Amino acid sequence: MKKNVLSSKQTAILKFIKQFIESKPYPPSIRDIKNGCGLSSTSVVDYNLKILEEKNYLKRDTSVSRGIYLEAQKHVSSLIETSDPDTTINQIELDDLEFENRGDSRTITIPFLGYIAAGEPLSIPPSDKWNSNEFDSVEIPAFLQKGKNDLFALKVKGDSMIDALVTEGDIIIMEQTTQAQPGDMVAAWLNDNEEVTLKYFQIKNDKVILRPANPTMSPIEIPANKVSIQGKIVGLIRSLS
């Protein structure tokens, strides 16, 4: 893994540490980071802190509970606040899957279908054309497949899912499916507009709520018979400058 490429989880941890240190006269503990970043366990925190230390973004003193020190503060600020959506994609975002599967170097190739809006709805090719030779492809770690034969990739436009750490320029890995559970992040097809959008999926009576992860944006509320699920997210690819 290249030094300047971090997973979204590692970027979130760096951001949390920076903000914590700016607001308090001491660094956060591992448990502070777990709670602040919504991670599943302190082991996940420790694993990602080791990677950040290996990449020289921070130093740790394991003899004390709050022995976490950021290295180049200016560089860290630049890392967590900026990204270039036009740079070459060079790293798979693995999140919890990275924690579970580090070291598996096998890859598979999936179709890259174009753009999806994390903001206003945006048109993409209809699903019956997704296997056409006209589309590019992208390689992903084989373990992301987990027995699925219907994965595809889309590039994100917009910032309505920014609080879910999905930002403009990310390439998301989707499982093609027509089924979703409340809380899933999905590619939802809006029948009337013939457009697809990336949002959290929720149900309210006979309506579907497509909820952004951005407090400045409003959810889309639409009759259930006017929306269809085209896929749900299983991973993403990001390039950080």
Which residues does the annotation mark as catalytic? 160, 199
Structure tokens at 105: 């170097």
Is-contact 33 48, C-beta < 8 A? no
Alpha-carbon separation of residue 71 from 27, 48, 125, 149, 189 (angstroms): 13, 16, 45, 43, 44
Structure tokens at 214: 């951005």
Terminal-residue alpha carbon distance, the chain = 14
Strands (E), the chain: 58-60, 68-70, 92-93, 107-117, 136-141, 151-157, 171-176, 185-190, 195-204, 207-211, 220-223, 227-237
Structure tokens at 88: 């070459």
DSSP summary character for residue 142: G
